[in-house]
Amino acid sequence: MSFLEALPIALLGALFGLDVVSFPQAMISRPIVAATAAGAFIGNPPGGLLIGVVLEMIALDTLPFGASRYPEWGSAGVVGGALFAAQPSGMPGALPSCLLAALLTASISGWSMVMLRRMIARRLARTRDQLEAGSRDALLSLHLSGMSLDLLRGALVTIVAMAVFAPLVKAIVAVWGSESAASHAVVVVIAAIVAGGALWKVFHSVRHVLWFFAAGLLVWSALLMTR
């Protein structure tokens, strides 16, 4: 993928990365949306959706509580969706390797958010006197520069991730040794375990929650028999 080809993807990563915290937090940054949008951009929406759903199941494990550190799924979803949607269909190594690339991107991008927050704090320290004097200009400048830097952060993470992972994924897919069914099964088991564990972590204190989950499984079983 050339720099010019990666540029629109980087823009997408910037917009979805911005949504995570800065603006507008409408959850277009969730991987199920970001990866699907990236897949659609490449011309393969179902491909983007598939990896987006897997990433979404894994993302259920991380809730964006205030000052906690968490992976950044917006840019990572774009990277995962764009990489997977660009692979030829039927390649057994495509899903696991693209998923790995997306998870690594999410981790690195989460770290970049911490760096950005520290950078904004340093800028805040430099303008503290003006802010304490009630300067509108200082407040607007701090706020708008924070958002602009976040936009830039998302773009940089996406373009670097695409530059590193696009050739790497291509090489991995070319030499992949595991068979197709097993490759998909490993990904599915990982996603199911993380999603199930996340649901328990989030909802275990809700009364009768296991009964409701069991009722859901019963409905699924009934659906399975009627299909």
Helix (H), strand (E) at residue 44? none
Contact between 64 and 20 under an 8 Å Cβ cutoff? The reply is: yes
Residue 140, interface with other proteins (CB under 8 A)?
yes
Between 104 and 164, CB nearer to other proteins: 104
Q: How far is the CB of 111 from other proteins (least distance, A)?
A: 13
Of 135, 163, 164, 170, the one binding other proteins by CB under 8 A: 135
Q: Is 225 in the site for other proteins (CB under 8 A)?
A: no
Burial label, 40 (beta-carbon count in 10 A; 0-12, 13-18, 19+): middle
Choose which of 1, 7, 108, 198 interacts with other proteins (CB under 8 A).
Answer: 198
The window from 8-16, 118-126, 153-161 that contacts other proteins (CB under 8 A) reads 118-126
Taking the chain, what is the end-to-end CA distance rounded to the nearest angstrom? 42
Helix (H, G, I), strand (E, B) or coil at 65: coil
Q: How far is the CB of 210 from other proteins (least distance, A)?
A: 8
**115 touches other proteins (CB under 8 A):** no
Residue 124 near residue 131, CB atoms below 8 Å:
yes
Is there binding between residue 186 and other proteins (CB under 8 A)?
yes
| Binding region for other proteins (CB under 8 A) out of 1-9, 90-98, 157-165 | 90-98
Question: Does residue 207 interact with other proteins by CB under 8 A?
Answer: yes
From the number of C-beta atoms within 10 Å of its C-beta (0-12, 13-18, 19+), residue 73 rates as: buried
**Minimum distance between the CB of residue 158 and other proteins, rounded to whole angstroms?**
19
CB of 97 to other proteins, least distance (A): 6
Kindly identify the residues of this chain, within the stretch 7-66, that bind other proteins according to CB under 8 A.
21-28, 30, 32-33, 36-37, 39-40, 45-46, 48-50, 53-54, 56-66
DSSP-derived secondary structure for 145-187:
HHHHHHHHHHHHHHHHHHHHHHHHHHHHHHH--S-HHHHHHHH
